Structure 1
Amino acid sequence: MQEKNNHSDGLDIPNRIDALPVRHTGPVVAGIIVAFVVAMLGYGVVTNSRFEWPVVWKYLFNERVLAGIWWTLCLTALSMIIAIVLAIVLAIMRKSINPVLRAVSWFFIWFFRGTPVYTQLVFWGLFSVLVPKMSLGIPFTSIEFWSVDSSVVMTSFRAAVIGLALNEAAYLSEIVRAGLEAVDSGQEEAAQALGMRRTLIMRRIILPQAMRIIVPPTGNEIVSMLKTTSLVMAVPFTLDLQFATDAIANRIYKPIPLLIVASFWYLLITSILMVIQAHLERYFGKGFEARSLSSGPAKGAGDSKSVSAKDKEEINKKNDATLLGLNA
């Protein structure tokens, strides 16, 4: 009778060979060299007195800097919420059977992707100059039912949010459209055969599955939006993080330490956003990820014990083919 080896994967294979991995010295040497170079760079940055680290620590938690962080987060969150909603609408319009809706969506994407975001923000800052009064009445006549001064409605903060949101929606709409088109059309046809409405199909079947493709690039766009808020001085909006650190630097004539302060906070916020993105990717990727055959404890080469009932139950759970979290 052939000898059987029971391994950690839970499979009994006759005459199984326990092969040792080949040792590769190249990656080890490369890792040592890279670590040495990184250590040298880090030591040079820390010990360089021209970076003026005492000034950095002094203004790292300055009240104006902290207020700038708050306003930057507000700009990022509000702009992305508006952009995501508008991007979904634009993506659906691009897939519509109505040629007018398709043309309007195409023109919006073409215009806002084709012009610099700084230029767009400048125009939104000049909105009250271009449109002094906002009114509601009968078109093509002088009859007005309601009017208001544009400068009262279009504040610098609102102009910054609208400018950032409209520009971002043009990019996000293409990401959403790619995600929608990645879902197999047979699922939509099957849902229609069951009598489901188009809105219900989009909300319960298409969008949940498209999120697996939409989330990663959308997370990248959120990080990009966080840094794009530094351009809102074109509106002008003067409360964001970049403007706050620039104002302090101009007052004390020390630009480098304040640039380090701004970079530190941008990096910290970006790191948090990346962690959130990773969790969202893991959540919406359930059912699509590669699944291992077993998570049982490792067993020796001569161990002939079979996989326990608990391990078998865990294997069945891991190999469950249902799309968790994506079921209608």
Structure 2
Amino acid sequence: MMTAAQSHFAPEPVQEVVHRRNWGAWLLSFLCLGLILAVLRAGIEARILDPELFVQYLFSEQILIGARNALVLGSLAMVLACGVGLVVALMRVSGNPIMASIAAIYVYFFRGTPMLIQLLFWFNAVPIMFGEISIPLPFTDIMLLQAPTTQMVTPFVAALIGLSLAEAGYMSEIIRTGIQAVDQGQQAAARALGMTRAQVMRRVVIPQAARIILPAGGNQYIMMLKSTSLASAIGYLELLRIATDIYSSNFLVVELLTVAAVWYLVMTAFATGIQTMLEKTFPLR
């Protein structure tokens, strides 16, 4: 017979934990899977894609050139957008009402108008507005550069300018958010040590803000790679433009669009890999 002390310390019976089943999630999963299988079956039965021709064009020289051009254009445009976006973001947080207003107008305009319209503007309107580009050597009559604008503003240049300025409007807000997320106490302490405002920004704020804006900046780079397809509207030979030119002559629309989609997926996978590596190398904490 158990004493009172023994009964007090006796282990309680183990109760089995029963997890509640989420039938709604399972039902939704099966519906999505069924929809995907139905679309695949419809495509196979309709024979909209010839696998042999798809593989043939996937690694064709013209398609590879288009993929390379899209990658180069997107990467250069993102680098320029980060530079311009940093300047605009610093203007927004400068405390100068005139500079802050100019930066706010810039962000509002370039985020509020479609990127395609901006590309068409740079390619068509600028040569009309400025007939010739002239850059003289200071204090002399020697011209470092003098050429018609139509020769200077090529489809590549117009696409690079348009994509960079449009993306800078988004990057400036991302950078501004990262700057404002840095603890104000660190800035005050750095100023107390005798650092100038520029030194505080360069040595204290921007290195920490860069870690904060890295995930959103990586997403914007992925969006930029896909946005290079808009350059096809002004004749730049990027991936979609070359695919369009090919299927305009052989009418293999689905095969060529699928090839272009695969290469865009490859480029975004490349960008995602870089983003993941940077986030592991420079974690927030």
Measured on the aligned residues, the alpha-carbon RMSD in Å equals: 2.8
How many Å separate the matches in 2 of 1:286 and 1:18? 41
| Residues 135 and 144 in structure 1, CA contact (< 8 A), matched pair in contact too | no
Query: CA–CA distance in 1 between the matches of 2:159 and 2:227?
Result: 11
Q: Residue by residue, what CA displacement relative to the aligned partner does 1:181-208 show, whole Å, maximum 9, x if unpaired?
A: 1112111111111122222222222122
Which whole-Å deviations, capped at 9, do the CAs of 1:117-145 have from their partners, x for residues lacking one?
1121112112223211122469xxxx965
1:300 aligned partner: none
Q: Which runs of 5+ in 2 are unaligned?
A: 1-10
1:24 aligns to 2:21 (yes or no): yes
Identity of aligned residues (%): 35
Change (3 A) 1:41 1:105: same
CA contact (8 A) 2:73 2:160 kept: yes
| Conserved? CA contact 1:113–1:167, under 8 Å | yes
Q: Report the equivalent of 1:89.
A: 87
Structure 2 CA distance for partners of 1:88 and 1:35, relative to 1, 3 Å: same
How many angstroms apart in 1 are the aligned matches of 2:223 and 2:22? 39
Equivalent AA in structure 1 for residue 184 of structure 2: S
The answer (yes or no) to whether the contact 2:76–2:160 under 8 Å persists in 1 is yes
Question: What per-residue deviation string (whole Å, max 9, x for no partner) do you get for residues 93-138 of structure 1?
Answer: 1111333322322222222222221121112112223211122469
State which drifts further: 123-132 or 27-36.
Answer: 27-36
2:107 to 98, 106, 109: 109
Residue correspondence of structure 1 range 1-328 to structure 2 within 5 A: 20=17, 22=19, 24=21, 26=23, 27=25, 31=29, 34-126=32-124, 127-136=126-135, 146=143, 148-149=146-147, 150-237=149-236, 239-287=237-285
TM-score by length of 1: 0.73
- Whole-Å Cα distance in 2 between the matches of residues 83 and 40 of structure 1? 42
Distance 2:205 2:271 in 1: 26
SS of 2:90's partner is helix
Structure 1, 243-252 or 265-274: larger mean CA deviation: 265-274
Give the corresponding residue for 1:6: none
- Cα distance change, pair 111–43 in 1 and its aligned pair in 2 (3 A): same
Q: Which runs of 5+ in 1 are unaligned?
A: 1-13, 288-328
1: CA distance between counterparts of 2:51 and 2:41?
Answer: 13
- Give the distance between the partners of 1:64 and 1:102, measured in 2 at CA: 46
- Size of the aligned set, in residue pairs, is 271
Kindly provide the amino acid, as one letter, of the partner of residue 155 in structure 2.
S
CA separation of 1:165 and 1:18: change in aligned 2, threshold 3 A: farther
The 1:116–1:34 alpha-carbon spacing in structure 2 relative to 1, beyond 3 Å, is closer
